[in-house]
């Protein structure tokens, strides 16, 4: 039996975490980041949204005299903060998270995406979806690490999951939706579960929710009574798998398409001979842009 040592120094039994991950499709890793790391990420979020680190695509310029809180309220989600923030890039390699990932994915792990969710008072949630719908892998290894930067509660819009919904390994159909309670215009439907089967995943700041790419999950609106519900999300997968993400380039067979804007976080990259590309740039996602994880 091995253990994962969290940032707060508390050990968590790896075997138990892995068993729960495979059974339920998700597991909570307490203390994935320590209080100082969480606070540093909160401060970095302000610098990022202000444009101090780099220009953020789709973001409006700074407003004279605007407070940090009002600045953050203008943002819903910033994609790829790790591209310009050393603080966010370090969090992608959080030791407790990576240690668990090597148990549920395998020894060789790569990441292709980071997202900083701000979700201030009144901001909408996301409808039911599966991450593999947006980021397909060849071996079903996609795994998310959703790190809370504030206490995530039912009131401020925590994650809700359908436990066990990953086990069939089925991608359910998706359709357009226009419910103002949700910011994504695409939702999964026609799955054999009811909303009443869902459970909220309330976690304290610094905890990480590790979940399978086939797990059906959603979040609801921030009620507006408890400030921000900030979270930093990274997506990981096995390095052995090709990543058929984004458009297939000309003269590349679809079966060999491999998106190479990746970060290795554990082990070795068997496709290192292909090199690594720098393609994605930080961007602010407005409400209703059409995808939850793009």
Q: Domain ranges in the chain?
A: 3-285
Distance CA 57, CA 46 (A): 16
Which pLDDT value is given to residue 289?
44
Q: Who's near 294: CB < 8 A, 6+ residues apart?
A: 134
Instruction: Give the chain's radius of gyration (CA, Å).
Output: 18
- SS3 of residue 70 by DSSP: helix
Which pLDDT value is given to residue 291?
46
Q: Per-residue confidence of the chain (294 residues) as pLDDT tens digits?
A: 556 665 655 556 678 899 999 999 999 999 999 999 999 999 999 999 999 999 999 887 778 889 999 999 999 899 999 999 999 999 999 999 999 999 999 999 999 999 999 999 999 899 999 999 999 999 999 999 999 999 999 999 999 999 999 999 999 999 988 777 788 678 999 999 999 999 999 999 999 999 999 999 999 999 977 789 999 999 999 999 999 998 888 888 888 899 999 999 999 999 999 999 999 999 997 654 444 544
Place of tokens 């910011």: 183
Which pLDDT value is given to residue 294?
40
Which pLDDT value is given to residue 7?
63
Q: 3-285: CATH homologous superfamily?
A: q2cbj1_9rhob like domain (2.60.120.620)
Distance CA 175, CA 154 (A): 26
Alpha-carbon torsion angle 282, 262, 151, 30, nearest 10: -170
| Cα atoms in the 13 Å half-sphere on the side-chain side of 67 | 3
Instruction: Report pTM.
Output: 0.92
Which pLDDT value is given to residue 182?
83
Which pLDDT value is given to residue 4?
65
Q: Which of 2, 24, 294 is nearest to 132 (CA)?
A: 294
């Amino acid at each position: 039996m091995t253990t994962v040592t969290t940032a707060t120094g508390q050990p968590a039994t790896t075997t138990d975490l892995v068993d729960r991950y495979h059974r339920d499709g998700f597991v909570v890793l307490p203390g994935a980041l320590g209080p100082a790391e969480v606070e540093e990420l909160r401060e970095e979020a302000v610098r990022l949204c202000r444009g101090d680190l780099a220009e953020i695509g789709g973001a409006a310029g700074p407003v004279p005299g605007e407070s940090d809180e009002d600045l953050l309220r203008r943002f819903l989600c910033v994609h790829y903060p790790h591209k310009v923030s050393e603080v966010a890039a370090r969090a992608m390699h959080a030791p407790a998270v990576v240690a668990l990932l090597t148990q549920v994915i395998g020894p060789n792990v790569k990441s292709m995406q980071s997202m900083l969710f701000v979700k201030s008072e009144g901001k909408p949630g996301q409808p039911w979806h599966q991450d593999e719908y947006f980021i397909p892998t060849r071996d079903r290894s996609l795994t998310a690490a959703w790190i809370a930067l504030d206490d995530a509660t039912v009131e401020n819009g925590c994650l809700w999951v359908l436990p066990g919904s990953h086990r069939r390994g089925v991608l359910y159909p998706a359709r357009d939706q226009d419910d103002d309670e949700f910011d994504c215009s695409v939702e999964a439907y026609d799955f054999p579960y009811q909303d009443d089967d869902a459970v909220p995943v309330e976690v304290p700041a610094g905890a990480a929710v590790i979940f399978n790419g086939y797990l059906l999950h959603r979040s609801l609106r921030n009620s507006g009574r408890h400030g921000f519900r900030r979270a930093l999300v990274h997506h990981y997968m096995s390095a052995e798998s090709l990543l058929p993400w984004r458009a297939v380039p000309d003269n590349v067979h679809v079966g060999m398409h491999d998106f190479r804007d990746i970060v290795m976080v554990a082990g070795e990259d068997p496709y290192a001979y292909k090199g690594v590309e720098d393609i994605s740039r930080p961007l602010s996602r407005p409400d209703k842009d059409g995808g939850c994880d793009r």
